[in-house]
């Protein structure tokens, strides 16, 4: 009787140990812990139970949530529909280099006019100091008489030949009418351009008055310089009125 009870007790303990070992192995594989109550053979699972029917849905939801979190951390869209929204919100001009607001045709036109004025001024300066006759200009008495104009008392201003003043003026114009000067972000460059042309057009008006009312003749080369100066003044005033005195910074 006693031996039989001892055998049954050993068998029960062996079964309990075997069940505990199996449950421990299953717990390590599934992430849940299992324990067997001593003397009863009943196994109690202490981990979170996973339902067979809903386990796949929970795992899918958890996986989708982790994927969204990873995508959000990496800077990507958190949801599938957000990708189009991000594309709409992205700036359309990414990678475009800022440029000046003044169009290229105006830059090139003013630059070429300044070069033309410089060329005429150089020729007038050479003719003044060499006392040579200007090519293609009439020497007869009448409205057009270049020699009469270039040798008059009004051909000097402040003791300096007007041709030399024109040469210096157009040297400055070539510099500040260049495309690089138009693209400058410094407001002072645009102010100097406009102020120089205001002074230049004032001097042109004085020279026109001297030619028409004091000398009584005009010089074709001088008139060409006057026309170029007026064209530069008109284009620069137009640019200042439309794009302001700092067009490069406005466009950036």
| pLDDT digit string, tens, across residues 184-206 | 988 999 999 999 999 999 999 99
Closest to 240 (Cα-Cα) out of 187, 203, 204, 201: 187
Which tops the pLDDT comparison, 98 or 14?
14
CA distances (Å), origin 214, targets 152, 211, 218, 229: 10, 6, 11, 22
Contact 212, 218 (CB under 8 A): yes
Taking the complete model, does pTM exceed 0.75, yes or no? no
Contact 135, 76 (CB under 8 A): no
Helix (H) or strand (E) holding 28: helix 2-30
Would you say residue 230 has pLDDT above 60? yes
Task: Please tell me the distance from the alpha carbon of residue 26 to that of residue 36, in angstroms, as a whole number.
Answer: 13
The residues spanned by each domain of the chain are 1-49, 55-88, 104-251
pLDDT tens track for 174-184: 999 999 999 99
Q: How big is the chain, counted in residues?
A: 252
104-251 maps to which CATH number?
1.20.1440.130
CA dihedral 173, 174, 177, 182 (to 10 degrees): -120
Going by pLDDT thresholds of 50, 70 and 90, the confidence category of residue 245 is confident
The pLDDT score that the predictor gives to residue 133 is 86
Quote the tokens at residue 8.
């049954």
Would you say residue 246 has pLDDT above 60? yes
Quote the tokens at residue 118.
């410089």
Task: Please tell me the distance from the alpha carbon of residue 151 to that of residue 147, in angstroms, as a whole number.
Answer: 6
Which tops the pLDDT comparison, 244 or 90?
244
Task: Please tell me the distance from the alpha carbon of residue 64 to that of residue 55, in angstroms, as a whole number.
Answer: 14
Going by pLDDT thresholds of 50, 70 and 90, the confidence category of residue 247 is low
DSSP 97: P
Which tops the pLDDT comparison, 83 or 93?
83
Quote the tokens at residue 82.
């957000």
Instruction: Give just the sign of the alpha carbon dihedral 30, 33, 39, 40.
Output: negative
Phi/psi of residue 35, each to 5°? -140, 150
H helices present in 131-219, as ranges: 146-150, 162-176, 179-182, 187-209
């Amino acid at each position: 009787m006693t031996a039989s009870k001892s055998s049954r007790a050993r068998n029960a303990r062996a079964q309990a140990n075997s069940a505990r070992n199996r449950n421990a192995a299953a717990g390590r594989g599934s992430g849940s812990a299992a324990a067997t109550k001593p003397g009863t053979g009943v196994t109690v699972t202490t981990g979170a139970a996973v339902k067979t029917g809903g386990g796949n849905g929970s795992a899918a939801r958890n996986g989708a949530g982790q994927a969204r979190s990873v995508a959000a951390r990496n800077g990507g869209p958190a949801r599938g529909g957000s990708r189009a929204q991000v594309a709409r919100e992205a700036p359309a001009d990414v990678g475009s280099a800022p440029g000046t607001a003044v169009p290229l045709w105006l830059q090139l036109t003013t630059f070429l006019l300044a070069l033309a004025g410089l060329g005429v001024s150089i020729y007038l300066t050479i003719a003044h100091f060499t006392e040579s006759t200007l090519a293609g200009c009439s020497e007869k008495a009448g409205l057009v008489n270049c020699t009469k104009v270039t040798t008059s008392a009004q051909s000097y201003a402040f003791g300096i030949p007007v041709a030399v003043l024109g040469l210096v003026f157009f040297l400055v114009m070539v510099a500040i009418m260049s495309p690089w000067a138009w693209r400058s972000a410094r407001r002072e460059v645009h102010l100097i351009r406009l102020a120089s042309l205001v002074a230049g057009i004032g001097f042109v008006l004085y020279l026109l008055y001297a030619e028409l009312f004091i000398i009584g003749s005009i010089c074709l080369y001088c008139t060409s310089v006057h026309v170029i100066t007026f064209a530069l003044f008109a284009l620069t005033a137009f640019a200042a009125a439309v794009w302001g005195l700092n067009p490069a910074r406005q466009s950036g």
